[in-house]
Structure 1
C-alpha cells in the first residue's frame, strides 16, 4: 500500500472508529471526523458504476479517496466521474478498461459492482495485483468460482469483503435476530423461511442497436458472444433510465448467463443471515429439493431452448435440508424477510421490522448485555465500508468473508440447478459436489469465453 503507510493508517483507523461511533461526518470535506490530511486515507477505485456501484462509492467517500473509476459504458462513467468530483472535490481518473485500474500502484483497494458474471475475473486479478477487494453480492456465478476466490484470498493474503450489508447495517435488526437464536429465545430451531420475492418473465426481446457509448463485447466479457437485445419501453424507479426489457443494464439479473435471478440477488442477503443464525456458515445442506417453481421459458437438459427472453425462475419454493434437522424454505411468496421457528416460539425479521412474541418478551427479559457484539465479534461499526477499512488495517477478514458467503450462496446456486434440471439434488458439503449426479455437477462451473480467461498470478 504505497500511499497508505502504517503510521498514518493506524491514525486513520482510530479516526474511522471514532467517526463510526458518533456517525459524525464533515460534509464539506467528506472526510471522517477529525481527519484533514489526505495521506491518512486509503486510496480506492470502483469498477462498475451503475446503481450499487455509485451507492458503495458514495458511502465510502467519508473514509477513503477515490482516485479512479471504471465502466464499460462511457455515459455511465462520465456521469459518475462528475458526481464523484463534486462529492470529494477532486476529479477521479476515468477508464473503460478495468485493467488500467489494476496496473496502478497507488490504489490500495477496489470496489467491484459489475454484473455478476464479471465478479470473479476482476476480483482474482485485483488480488494478484496487490489490491484488497470489496465485491458486491452475489459474489459468484458458479460454485467453482467461489472455490477459486477462496484459494486466491488464502494465497495472496488480501482482505476481501462481500457486500452483504445486512451483516453490518439495517439498524442491527439482523444482528439481533442472530443473537435471539444464539441465546435460545425460540428454543431449538426447527424451520427457517427466507422470503425473497419472485421475478416477472418477459415478452420476446428482439435484437436491437447497441446503445451509444456501450462496449457490448466488453460488457459480455467472460460470457458467450450474443446479440444485444432490448425493447423500447424504459425502466423507471431504481435502476431507471435503461430499457425495461433487455439482456444488459439492470435486467442482467433475469438471465442465467449473467446472474441467478432472485435466488442469488436477494437470497444472498436472507439465506446468509439464516445460515449465520443456524451456525451453518462453514457447511451446507444435505439435500436441495424444488417443491414448486416456474421458469421464465422452456428448458431442456438444464438449458433454455430459446434465447430471446428472460430465463430465470419467476416463482419458486425450495427446501434445503440443513444440519441439525433444520428445514430451510426459500420462497417467492409472502413477505420479504426471514421467519425463524423453534420449539419455543417464532419471530420474523426484515429491513423494516423485527416482530413476534419472543421479541415482545424482550421488554421483560432483554438479551444479555453484549449479545450483539458477541454475534459480530466486536463493536459494530457505522457501516459495511468502515468494517472493510478497519480490516485493511488489521489484515483480518471482514464480517462478510468469502468463506461464509460462498457456503450460503451454494444453497442458492444449487436451488437454481435443481430447478433447471427439475429434480432434487443430494449434496456433499465436505467435497462440495452433487452426489450421484454427473449432469448436475457439470453446472457447478462455467468456461470463460476465449480472450476473457482469468489471469492467474
Structure 2
C-alpha cells in the first residue's frame, strides 16, 4: 500500500494517531474512537410474498416473527407435529391460518411462495429437497444438514430448481460482519494468522432443557411421523421437545453454535473452510441423559488459498459458564486484531508497545528509558457500533432472502455456503466420538 493510500485508510478508520503520539506517559491509556455503522435499506418492493412455517418450535416462531416485521409478507400456513404449537400459532398469528401436521399439505398449496423450515436438524434435508421440488423458495434453519452425506443432495436439488435457498445463520448478514469483512480486505489487521470463537451459556433453556408440556403424549404428538425417517423407537417426550440432546435428531453444540461462528468467519474471510479438524470436550454439568457434551473445544487448520493465507482457528462452547455467558469471534493478524459481534466491531492496531505480559512490559519499559529511544505507545482502538434503531442481523438476513426472491437475486448463505459452514461443525462430533483428527476437502466438499 503506497503512503497516500495508507494515510487515507487510517483517516477513514478514525484512528487518532497524532493524539496517541503526544500522550505523555510511557504506557498511556488506550486511545479509542467510535464510528457508527449504518444500514442503507434498499427501496421496498411492493410484491406481497406468502410464506408458510414448517416446524413451529422456538426458532421457527422467532424466524416467522422476524419475517413478518418486513413489509408485504403474509403468513398463510403453519405445520407442526404437536397440537399445542398449532393452537399457539392460531392464537399468535390468526385463526385464518391453514394448520396441518403434514408438511406435504403445505407444499401442495399453489398460493405459497416460500417456506421457513424450523424443524429438528434430521428433517432439514428431506423437507428442503421436497420444498424445492415443489417449486418453493426455502429458508432453512442451520445447520443445513444432519450428516455430511446430505449436503450434495440439497445442492443438487437447489441448482435444479432455480429457487432461492437461504440457510438461517442469521448473524451472517449483520453490520458487524460486513464491517469486519471490509476491514480485513483493507489490511486493517495485516495478515490473518489466527482466529478464535467462543459461545457460552449458563441456564436450563440455554442448555436445551426446553419445557415439556403437560399434555405431551401420542395423542397430541404425531410421534410416528416424527421418527418416520429415523430409527423406530417408542415415544419419548425428551427426544421430541429436547431433541438437540440426541444425535439421532440433532447435531449437538457444534451444529447449534459452532456453525454460527463458522458462518461469520467464512463470510468475513471468503473462506471455503478448514482441511483438518479436531475436537475435545465432555459432559461436565448437564447430566440429564443427553448424548452430547456440554463443553466442546475445536481446533482447525485453514489451508493457504486464493481467498486467504493459512491460519488456525480455535472454537469453544460452554454450557457450564457461571458468569452467565458470552459470545464473540476474534480475528488476529500481523498488525492488529478485531473482536467481531453482530452489532459491533472493535479494531485494535499495534502502535508498538503496550503488553499484558509482565516480562515484555518490563523489557519495553527499560528499553524506552534508554537515551534516544521512542516512548511506547498504546494500541490504537476503534469501535464500530451499529446505529441507534438497528433492527439486527436476523431482520437483515430475511431482508436478503426476500429481496432475492423478488428480484431473482442471490443470498449471502446459499446451500453451498451453508454446507461449507455445517460440514466442519458436524465433523467436530466425529472427531470427538473417534478421538482423532478428521481431514476435510473444503473446496470439493468431501472427506479427505
Tell me which of 159, 183, 187 is aligned to 2:186. 183
Q: Contact (CA 8 Å) 2:132, 2:157: kept in 1 or not?
A: yes
Structure 2 match to 1:289: 278
8 A Cα contact 1:197 1:262, kept in partner: no
Which stretch shows the higher mean deviation, 144-153 or 323-332? 323-332
Q: Deviations over 1:381-401 (max 9, x none)?
A: 962222111111222331121
8 Å Cα contact 2:172/2:264 also seen in 1: yes
Instruction: After superposition, give the CA deviation of every residue in 1:101-141 in whole Å (9 maximum; x if it has no partner).
Output: 11111111111111111111111001101111111111110
1:319 matched to 2:299? The reply is yes
Q: Deviations over 1:342-390 (max 9, x none)?
A: 11111212346433424985759x9xxxxxxxxxxxxx99622221111
- Distance in 2 of aligned mates of 1:415 and 1:64: 38
Whether contact under 8 Å (1:118, 1:221) holds in the other structure is: no
1:69 equivalent to 2:82? Answer no
Structure 1 distance, partners of 2:421, 2:217, is 36
**How far, CA to CA, are the matches of 2:429 and 2:267 in structure 1?**
21
Gap regions ≥5 residues in structure 2: 1-38, 305-309, 319-324, 351-378, 385-392
Count of equivalent residues: 353
Task: Give secondary structure in 2 for the equivalent of 1:273.
Answer: helix
Structure 2 CA distance for partners of 1:150 and 1:252, relative to 1, 3 Å = same
Is 1:109 equivalent to 2:114 in the alignment? Answer: yes
- Pick the aligned partner of 1:425 from 438, 441, 446: 438
Other-structure match for 1:99: 104
**SS state at 1:332 partner:** strand
Pick from 263, 266, 273 the counterpart of residue 257 of structure 2.
266
Cα RMSD (Å): 3.2
Q: Distance in 1 between matches of 2:218 and 2:273?
A: 42
Q: TM-score, normalised by structure 2?
A: 0.71
Shift of 1:312: 1.3
Which residue in 2 is equivalent to 1:247? Answer: 239
1:158 aligns to what?
163
Deviation at 1:212, TM superposition (A): 4.4
Deviation of 1:155 after TM superposition, in Å, equals 0.9
Write the distance in 2 (CA, Å) between the matches of 1:215 and 1:350: 39
1:314 CA drift (Å)? 2.0
C-alpha contact 2:346 2:382 (8 A) present in aligned 1: no
d(CA) in 2 for partners of 1:143, 1:383? 28
Taking the aligned partners of 1:258 and 1:389, their CA distance within structure 2 comes to 29
Residues 368-407 of structure 1: pairs in structure 2 closer than 5 A: 383-407=396-420
Confirm or deny: 8 A CA contact 1:296 1:312 kept in the other structure.
no
Higher relative contact order (CA 8 A, sep 6+): 2
Larger Rg: 2
Q: What is the alpha-carbon distance in structure 1 between the residues aligned to residue 251 and residue 63 of structure 2?
A: 22
1:426–1:382 CA distance, 2 compared to 1 (3 A): closer
Distance 1:60 1:317 in 2: 33
Checking the alignment, whether the CA contact within 8 Å between 1:296 and 1:310 is kept in structure 2 is: no
Decide whether the 8 Å contact of 1:186 with 1:345 is kept in 2: yes
After TM superposition, the structure 1 = structure 2 runs for residues 51-90 of structure 1, keeping only pairs within 5 Å, are 51-61=58-68, 62-85=71-94
Structure 2 partner of 1:444: none
Partner of 1:337: 328
- Who is 1:240 aligned against? none
Partner of 2:236: 229
SS at match of 2:240: coil
TM-score normalised by length of structure 1: 0.70
Partner of residue 369, structure 1: none
Measured after TM superposition, the shift of residue 146 of structure 1 is: 1.4
The alpha-carbon distance between structure 1 residues 296 and 210, as it changes in their structure 2 partners (threshold 3 A), is farther
1:63 shift after superposition:
2.9
